[in-house]
C-alpha cells in the first residue's frame, strides 16, 4: 500500500512512518524538518509545509491512504514556559485545522479515500470523559488553544465524506512497544499513557485490516494482567 504520513518528522509521525515501512508499505514522509527522520531505504521524503495546499496536493497524489499526525512540535511544558525560556514557537497555532483541511481537499481531488488522523484524548467525543486529573493538567498547561485546534480538526474529518478513522491516544510516551492496548470506540481507557510505537503499530493494523471506518478510537495501554484483551475494542 502507498501511504503518505503528514507530520512524519514529529515523534509520533516518525514512529508511524518507520512502522509502516517495516510492514512492507511504500511510505512517503511529509514534513518540514527532514533531518529529524533518518534516511531509510523505502521511505520517500517530501519537504513541505502542511499549511501550503500545493505542497500537500503533490504529496497526496498517487497514494492509497493518508495518515495525519500533525501537532505542535514543542512539548506542552516548553510551550507554556517558552517565552520565559527564550524558546520560539515554530508551529502555526492552527496547524491541525488548516493542515487537515488541505489534506482533505487534496484527497478529494486525487480520489484517495482512506484517512487515518491522530488527535488527542479529551477532545470531541471524549471531552466530557476527562478525569479531574486530566482536566487539571490541561488547565495548568493552558492547552485551550491546542485543544480547540484539535476540535476543529476532528469536525473537518467527520464532515469530509472520506473513509476516515480518528484515533485519540492518551498521553504519548517514548516507551517500548508492548502490544498491549485497549482500542475503544466507546471512549473508555485504561492507563493514562500509551507509547508512540504502540500507536504506530495500531495504525498499521487499522490500515491493513480496514476496520474502524468512520469511527473514533481511544487508544490506551493495558496493564500486564490485561494482555489477553489487548486488541479487543470496547
What the block records as the C-alpha cell of 194 is 500509551
- Does some domain include residue 230? no
Indicate which CATH number applies to the domain containing 20. 3.40.50.720
- Does some domain include residue 45? yes
Number of structural domains in the chain? 1
- Does some domain include residue 145? yes
Residues 211-222: pLDDT tens digits? 999 999 999 999
Q: Which residues contact residue 10 at a Cβ distance below 8 angstroms, ignoring those fewer than 6 apart?
A: 31, 36, 69, 70, 71, 73
- Does some domain include residue 29? yes
pLDDT score of 226: 52
- Does some domain include residue 222? no
Range of the domain at 59: 2-169+192-217
- Does some domain include residue 182? no
- Does some domain include residue 231? no
Q: What is the pTM of this model?
A: 0.87
Band of pLDDT at residue 110, cut at 50, 70 and 90:
very high
- Does some domain include residue 178? no
pLDDT score of 82: 58
Amino acid at each position: 500500500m502507498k501511504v503518505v504520513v503528514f507530520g512524519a518528522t514529529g515523534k509520533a509521525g516518525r514512529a508511524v512512518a518507520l512502522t509502516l515501512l517495516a510492514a512492507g508499505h511504500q511510505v512517503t514522509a511529509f514534513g518540514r524538518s527532514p533531518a529529524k527522520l533518518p534516511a531509510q531505504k523505502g521511505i520517500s521524503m517530501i519537504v513541505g509545509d502542511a499549511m501550503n495546499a500545493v505542497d500537500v496536493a503533490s504529496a497526496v497524489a498517487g497514494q492509497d491512504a493518508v495518515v495525519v499526525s500533525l501537532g505542535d512540535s514543542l512539548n506542552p511544558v516548553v510551550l507554556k514556559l517558552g517565552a520565559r525560556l527564550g524558546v520560539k514557537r515554530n508551529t502555526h497555532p492552527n496547524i491541525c485545522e488548516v493542515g487537515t483541511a488541505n489534506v482533505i481537499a487534496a484527497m478529494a481531488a486525487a480520489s484517495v479515500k482512506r484517512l487515518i488522523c491522530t488527535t488527542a484524548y479529551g477532545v470531541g467525543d471524549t471531552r466530557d470523559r476527562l478525569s479531574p486529573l486530566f482536566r487539571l493538567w490541561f488547565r495548568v498547561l493552558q492547552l485551550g488553544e491546542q485543544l480547540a485546534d484539535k476540535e476543529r480538526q476532528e469536525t473537518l474529518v467527520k464532515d469530509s465524506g472520506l473513509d476516515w478513522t480518528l484515533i485519540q491516544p492518551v498521553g504519548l510516551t517514548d516507551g517500548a512497544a508492548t502490544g498491549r492496548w485497549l482500542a475503544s470506540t466507546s471512549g473508555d481507557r485504561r492507563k493514562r499513557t500509551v507509547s508512540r510505537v504502540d500507536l504506530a503499530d495500531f495504525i498499521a493494523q487499522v490500515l491493513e485490516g480496514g476496520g474502524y471506518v468512520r469511527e473514533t478510537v481511544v487508544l490506551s495501554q493495558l496493564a500486564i494482567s490485561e494482555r489477553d484483551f489487548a486488541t479487543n475494542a470496547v
